[in-house]
Amino acid sequence: MSTIIMIIRDFSFNTCFVCTDIDECASNPCQNGTCTDKVNGYSCSCYSGFTGTHCSKDIDECASNPCQYGTCTDKVNGYSCSCYSGFTGTHCAKDINECAINPCHHGGVCRDDINGFTCTCAAGYSDKYCETDISECHSSPCVNGGLCNDMVNGYNCSCLRGYTGRHCQTDIDECASNPCQNGTCTDKVNGYSCSCYSGFTGTHCSKDIDECASNPCQYGTCTDKVNGYSCSCYSGFTGTHCAK
């Protein structure tokens, strides 16, 4: 406390008075600061984070909106930011790169989004992380009993005998090689059948039927022909079968 002594002389009574300066800081008027006493007054020097005549007002550091993507909590001489999902940093200004951990499998391309990511999958893969191989066999592309083999972004068909083509859709024409030498060919699944012309027999109609085998020429020699025969009669005999 500073004391100012003032001596006042009253000549009318030939006496003196002593005056003492009142310490206005004695009542601690500066709530969050230091008080400096003055003549008939005082002044406050506020601590950091406070303002006002009596340093009673907390400065709102959140007033300037320092948290770009988050909520601000005011504190004494400072603030703290609670960032929204997907953001980080003192001021929540930095977007978290969710692609940094390479979440997209099998060559998928990652695009960073706010609080997430999107995978653009390579051909043949699907789902969020491109982790699933698309089954191109799901639609049953192989017909006629063909077996479907799933591949990455494709498939192939193992056809049953008698079929060909990408989807086993084509019946192989076993008659194309003309297997029936003396007859007509009927194509079948994985095979064929021959209808032989008259006078021929065998799987491929390649065997001439021997019409002489039944000895039709009674008194003569038989000459086999296609679908027939002829008789050469012995002397003294005649007729188709040399029987006369």
**Whether residue 53 sits in one domain with residue 43:** yes
229 domain-assigned = yes
pLDDT at 194: 98
pLDDT bracket for residue 185 (50, 70, 90) = very high
Tokens 């770009």 — which residue? 68
- pLDDT for the residue numbered 4: 45
CB 88 within 8 A of CB 78: no
Q: Strands 147-151 and 94-95, how do they pair?
A: unpaired
Is there a domain that residue 204 lies in? yes
How many domains, the chain?
A: 4
Q: What is the pLDDT of residue 165?
A: 97
- Residue 110 CB partners (closer than 8 Å, separation 6+): 98, 99, 102, 103, 104, 117, 118, 119
Domain that holds residue 72: 60-96
User: pLDDT tens-digit profile of 16-63?
Assistant: 566 788 999 999 999 999 999 999 999 999 999 999 999 999 999 999
Residue 197: give its domain's CATH number: 2.10.25.10
What confidence category does residue 94 fall into, taking pLDDT thresholds of 50, 70 and 90?
very high
Lowest mean pLDDT among 16-20, 97-101, 228-232: 16-20
Q: Cα–Cα distances in Å, from 107 out to 63, 101, 127, 152?
A: 47, 14, 13, 12
- Looking at residue 244, its pLDDT comes to 86
Q: What is the mean pLDDT of the chain?
A: 92
Q: Is the model's pLDDT at 5 over the cut of 50?
A: no
State whether 180 and 202 are in the same domain. Answer: yes
- The 10s digit of each residue's pLDDT in 152-183 is 999 999 999 999 999 999 999 999 999 999 99
Give the tens place of pLDDT for each residue, 116-142: 999 999 999 999 999 999 999 999 999
Q: Does 203 map to a domain? A: yes
Report the distance separating Cα 118 and Cα 105, nearest Å: 12
Rounded distance between C-alpha atoms, residue 160 and residue 187, angstroms: 16
Q: How buried is residue 154: exposed, middle or buried, by Cβ count under 10 Å (0-12/13-18/19+)?
A: exposed
Average pLDDT over residues 210-219: 95
Do residues 18 and 44 both lie within one domain? Answer: yes
**Residue 1: which pLDDT band, with cuts at 50, 70 and 90?**
very low
109 falls within a domain: no
Which residue's structure tokens are 């008659």? 175
pLDDT at 18: 66
What is the average per-residue pLDDT within 197-217? 96
Same domain, 43 and 76: no
**How high is the pLDDT of residue 21?**
81
In eight-state DSSP terms, residue 130 is S
CA–CA gap between residue 81 and residue 89 (Å, rounded): 9
Residue that terminates a domain, selected from 48, 81, 96: 96
